Amino acid sequence: MQENTILTPESVQASGEIPQHVSIIMDGNGRWAGARFRPRVFGHHKGALAVRRAVETARKLGVKYLTLYAFSDENWGRPAYEVSAVMDLLEKYINRELSNLNQNGIRLNAIGELHRLPERTKKILDQAILQLSGNSQMVLTLCLSYGGRSELSEAFKKIASKIEAGQLTSSQISAELIGNYLWTAGMPDPDLMIRTSGELRLSNFLLWQHAYSEMYFCKSSWPDFSETHFLEAVQSFQSRQRRFGLIREASRPLTLEELEELKREEH
């Protein structure tokens, strides 16, 4: 594809494989607002609109799982007014988008320490999850009060109690088994992880599941993340060769001459 071609979901679909699972660290709302002399919460409001765009783009592309990092374990440490504004926005987002999500056949899922959410937020979330549970075109997972280390700790606790109860032996522990005890059990690992706002870190996001994901870091702040940004990320994914530790080309043993050559250098 040429550099100056206008990207569309259709052109990106035609140019290669669409990642089955895309995860996104939606970062940079506060800085986006600060740069415009607005309070951080203003940026979160704009960020909610970017969520709508990203969901629509993923759906148009035929992505099957979209997982959004919306609120981390660590984010509870922010000022109370910001935390409650994010929770209010989450409720607003769900109420506003429910019928649109349903029309598009999107199922809703939430992972994290959900019991820590305010009661009203949790109730609205649970109701929406139930209402959308029959849909099968795409699964939208919101990571709320989520931390990769908490998720792993929870999984290990559950595994340990099974062992204590004699329902499992330690020799049965495998990567597959651990995966089955995570909050993402049953979901494929993300193929592509996107982080906005130029930060180059994972920030405790799906630590186990991102083992072999392709990473895409975007300079744009989350409120500015457009359909084109999303399509550029998928295009970048399509240009990569995933190897999972294997090799693609044919290999052969060393010849005697090559062995001699190496020996000479090693001595």
27 is annotated as an active-site residue: yes
Of 55, 65, 183, 180, the residue nearest 114 (C-alpha): 183
Partner touching 26 among Mg ion, ligand IPE, none, CB below 5 to 8 Å by kind: ligand IPE
Tell me the closest approach of the beta carbon of residue 78 to ligand IPE, in angstroms: 8
Of 111, 22, 98, 4, the residue nearest 60 (C-alpha): 22
From the candidates 27, 73, 189, 191, give the one annotated as an active-site residue: 27
From the candidates 4, 73, 75, 180, give the one annotated as an active-site residue: 75
Partner touching 46 among Mg ion, ligand IPE, none, CB below 5 to 8 Å by kind: none
Q: Does position 27 bind Mg ion by CB under 5 A?
A: yes
Partner touching 50 among ligand IPE, Mg ion, none, CB below 5 to 8 Å by kind: none
Nearest residue (beta carbon) to ligand IPE = 30
Q: How far is CA 78 from CA 62, 71, 74, 82, in A?
A: 36, 11, 8, 7
Tell me the closest approach of the beta carbon of residue 240 to ligand IPE, in angstroms: 24
Tell me the closest approach of the beta carbon of residue 112 to Mg ion, in angstroms: 17
Q: Which DSSP string do the residues of 34-51 spell out, in sequence order?
A: HTTT--HHHHHHHHHHHH
Q: Does position 73 bind Mg ion by CB under 5 A?
A: no
- Cβ neighbours of residue 140 under 8 Å, at least 6 residues apart? 55, 66, 68, 101, 106, 107, 108, 109
List residues with catalytic annotation: 27, 75
Binding site for Mg ion (CB under 5 A): 27
